[in-house]
Chains A and B, each alone.
Chain A
Amino acid sequence: MIQTFFNVEIIAASWPIVVAGLLNTVLLSLIVVPLGLFGGLILALLASVRHPAVRWPLMVWVDFFRAFPPLVLLILLFAGLPFAGLDLGGFACVAIAFFLNTGSYYGEIFRAGIESVPAGQVEAGRSTGLSRLQAMRYIVLPQAVRNVLPDLLSNTLEVVKLTSLGSVVAVPELLYQARQAQSLTYNPTPIVVAAVIYFLMLWPLVRLLSRLENRALAGRR
């Protein structure tokens, strides 16, 4: 049993391959998370413009990319764009797909945060001469982010997990590399190693999230 699922020799042999995958997973997360946060912030700021010409397209956009399965979106970009003469490669496709998908999720979280700040806060700022944008930046956003910090972190956890979808379009991230090692060694140990790495990487974030959620609950009491 241990020989099959936790074979020390195979761990040693496949280690460089798996570590290369881990680095790519980290790199992918470091690109995709800020991109999603940035996209989400833009969407949320646009949502605070109440003009119908902005509101309706925005709503369609956000709904569409939240309803669209990210794996389908990814494969569509990867397999479809070359036919449009645009061959971006797996890595760029993952970045774009995630920007569209998680950006919409982050956007909804930011929007909820912005709406959680009482209107009186903006009025106070505007009455002292702050512009709409200044009031957003100095008064609303800091409070909004603080109010939805647990949700932002929770979504970030999901995003890091979702980077494993990159394996489908041959992005050499952790899962992809582990599967390569598995087929080279005819042994599932590399997959187990990958699972342990995922867990060790995300567990601190999960702990942090629990603490933030508890603190938010305590704050509400």
Chain B
Amino acid sequence: MKPQPIVDARAVHKHFGALHVLKGVDLKVAERELVFVIGPSGSGKSTLLRCLNRLEEPSSGSIVVDGIDMLDPRTDINHARQRIGMVFQSFNLYPHMTALGNVTLALRKVAGKSRAEADRLGRAALERVGLADRADHTPGQLSGGQQQRVAIARSIALEPRVMLFDEPTSALDPELVGSVLEVMRSLRESGMTMVVVSHEMGFARNAADRVVFMDDGLIVEQGPPAAIFETPTQDRTRAFIGQIQRH
């Protein structure tokens, strides 16, 4: 018997006014799987990701994450979101707090840990992203790569069941991308389930279990990275892969 998928999204539609951004997307993600979502800008991949933790309210469809119906009005969404980490393109660290303060806020206010316990868990999370010595720095004192790693620590400190990455390296200078990918790779090795929207094709090739290609609000094609990159079956996939590989 196939195990229950940890993310199970079905027939998800999203309208922004007259704009039909998601046109019935199905996405299942198995435990410990790393799914890469690629596609041209405006294809709906970020919106799909943001629907998974209901930062965006889907217009219709169903989304179940780790057995919790995310769209059920009776679901305690704040509780559910603790189990779904999210990393943003622009880091979104809280600039008025230290790195440790960023990591411990939700531990204290959502998970209900004492300050001492939150600090211990927060420092452990910063250690995992290689920034134990930056705990007392504010975001303004950190490089972009370090900020993004603090943002990852902020999520993993809550021990999520799945992590969503929304273009985590797009805002970084090229020389800083590697450190963030390194952290993502170690997360993957520790067995984290991950859904990644990104154009880091090299990373996708050697870390992803599956690549999903989206265009115009629909999943056009999906499969193992080699298949999608070397032998895509759809014209739109081929055109997109061709474009990004020329760069």
Contact = CB atoms under 8 A, between A and B. Distances in A.
Contacts, number: 65
B88 A120 contact: yes
Nearest to A134: B109
B70 to A, nearest CB: 13
Contact of A127 (B53, B79, B94): B53
B158 A128 contact: yes
Contacts of B88: 120, 123-124
A153 B176 CA distance: 41
B103 to A, nearest CB: 10
Given A120-B88, A134-B109, A138-B105, A126 B94 contact: no
Interface in A138-152: 138-139, 142-143, 146
A128 B155 contact: yes
Contacts of B92: 118, 120-121, 123-124
B95 interface: yes
A123 B55 contact: yes
Interface string A96-137: 000000000000000000000010110111111111001000
A118 B90 CA distance: 11
A131 B78 contact: yes
Contact of B81 (A127, A138, A142, A143): A127
Given A120-B88, A124-B88, A130 B94 contact: no
29 contacts: A118-B90, A120-B90, A123-B88, A123-B92, A124-B88, A124-B93, A124-B94, A126-B55, A127-B53, A127-B55, A127-B85, A128-B81, A128-B158, A129-B78, A129-B82, A129-B110, A129-B111, A129-B158, A130-B78, A134-B109, A134-B110, A138-B105, A138-B109, A139-B94, A139-B105, A142-B96, A143-B95, A143-B96, A146-B96
Interface of A: 118, 120-121, 123-131, 134, 138-139, 142-143, 146
